[in-house]
Structure 1
């Protein structure tokens, strides 16, 4: 009788330890995905600034792209999603016009960077979704297996890339 109770307690301990470790790995996955998203956003802003510096681009359009890219790079955490959405909109407005003047190589760089942002955001939001789903469990909440880690947030922005 005592042996079976001890066996159940040991198995329960292993299970709870596994759940806590899984939550920790999910939180690390969110942090890694967020770092990749930040890097993709910076790459896109750099590609847009490179495009805006092209001499064949309309000066007004170049100023608009530069302002949007710098705004996205300098935005704080609270306004980052909105600033990145504005950059996406400015980029589409600039590149979806038939009279665009930059060379195709720079356009390819911007398009690749924009697709990278889309993919990084999808991976980040998937990681957040998995972590939130794991933390909704009654057992996790009751035993506080997530520790003091903050509940991760989704990154929502307009990331539709420009047409090519």
Structure 2
């Protein structure tokens, strides 16, 4: 083997190593993106539950409606990892059941601070839906990158667990 062949193989090895390093870095960045999106989703879910609980405790609603909403918000805030998706979906359904009652908006607008609380709840519900979409998009991109042959043959993801989607009923209530 002469010097030209040696340089060729060293160059090829360098390019292959650079590509593998780039793919590993990309996987690392995707996992970091999932972590950031999960933190944003958690913050949005906690904020939505807090605003729902604030509405339930505001004495703007009748006692039965307040109890239903407070229970759903409390369950969503205290749920463990296994039951969180169900608890958050229950909160979404409770919010829709409460806020989509006939004449609910007009009744709440007549009370002091009612409209502001209603608008804040609508905004947090919308932010929750967006945060879940961003999180699931990040999970999807990461899972696609981890399915590639190079990532499967070489342990480029290290010991990072495969991220899971977060599926909840997050259709925001219609408060118009």
Between the aligned partners of 1:3 and 1:98, the Cα distance in structure 2 is 78
TM-score, normalized by length of structure 1?
0.98
Which consecutive residues of structure 1, in runs of 5 or more, have no partner in the other structure? none
- The residue aligned with 1:155 is 166
CA deviation digits over 1:31-56, x for unaligned, max 9? Answer: 00000000000000011011111223
The offset of 1:107, in angstroms, is 0.6
Deviating 4+ runs (over 4 angstroms): none
Which consecutive residues of structure 2, in runs of 5 or more, have no partner in the other structure? 109-113
- The residue aligned with 2:111 is none
Which one has the largest radius of gyration?
2
* Cα RMSD for the two superposed structures: 0.8
Match 1:50 to one of 44, 48, 54:
54
Residue 53 of structure 2 aligns to a residue whose secondary structure is helix
Match 1:8 to one of 12, 15, 18:
12
TM-score, normalized by length of structure 2?
0.91
1:83 has 2:94 as partner: no
The offset of 1:124, in angstroms, is 0.1
Between the aligned partners of 2:49 and 2:59, the Cα distance in structure 1 is 18
Between the aligned partners of 2:75 and 2:60, the Cα distance in structure 1 is 23
The offset of 1:90, in angstroms, is 0.3
The offset of 1:99, in angstroms, is 3.8
1:114 has 2:118 as partner: no
Between the aligned partners of 2:60 and 2:18, the Cα distance in structure 1 is 64
- The residue aligned with 2:45 is 41
